[in-house]
Each structure stands twice: as C-alpha cells, then as structure tokens.
Amino acid sequence: MNPYISVVKPLEDYELLLTFINGEERIFDTKPYLDKGVFKRLRERSTFMGVRVVAGSVEWPGEIDLSYDTLYLGSHPVSNRIAPND
C-alpha cells in the first residue's frame, strides 16, 4: 500500500507537488490525463489550481479525483528542488 498525501501544491505546466505522509515529496504530471473524460475540465487553469487533499488523495472542484496509488506510482521524487518564494 502506498502512502497517503498530506499536502498538494499545483505547479506550472499542469504538474502537482505532492507531499506524502511519509515525508516524501514527489512531482506528478497531469498532462497525459487532460485529454480524457472528466479530466478535460482541468485544462481550465482556475479548475486545476483548485486542487486539494481529500481523504489522503487529491480532488478538484466537480469531484474530479485521482487515487493516492495512481499519484504515488505515476510520480517521480523531487531532487534538490529550488522553489523561489514558496
């Protein structure tokens, strides 16, 4: 079982910075999903930016969500991330 998400931050270029409950930070790219079903709504920048953590996973307005397993397995670890003015 993969860890739950504790914090999500939307980034430029339709990526998510995810912090998992085990302390790992990982980046998930949502672009491959943006041409599929309900995920097409995430192309609207304000909708994408409305992401939040719900029950250990992430959810956008309109009950669009991805499981923590999908997010963990489809993401890559952050290495030496430099983020100005976080």
pTM for the predicted model, two decimal places: 0.88
Question: What is the number of structural domains in the chain?
Answer: 1
Q: What's the confidence (pLDDT) of residue 27? A: 98
48 in any annotated domain: yes
Q: List the pLDDT tens digit at each of the 86 positions of the chain.
A: 789 999 999 999 999 999 999 999 999 999 999 999 999 999 999 999 999 999 999 999 999 999 999 999 999 999 855 555 55
Range of the domain at 41: 5-75
- Specify whether the CB–CB gap between 57 and 65 falls below 8 A: yes
Q: What is the CATH number of the domain that holds 33?
A: 3.30.2020.10
Q: Which of 27, 33, 36, 35 is nearest to 9 (CA)?
A: 27
- Specify whether the CB–CB gap between 62 and 47 falls below 8 A: yes
Q: What's the confidence (pLDDT) of residue 83? A: 52
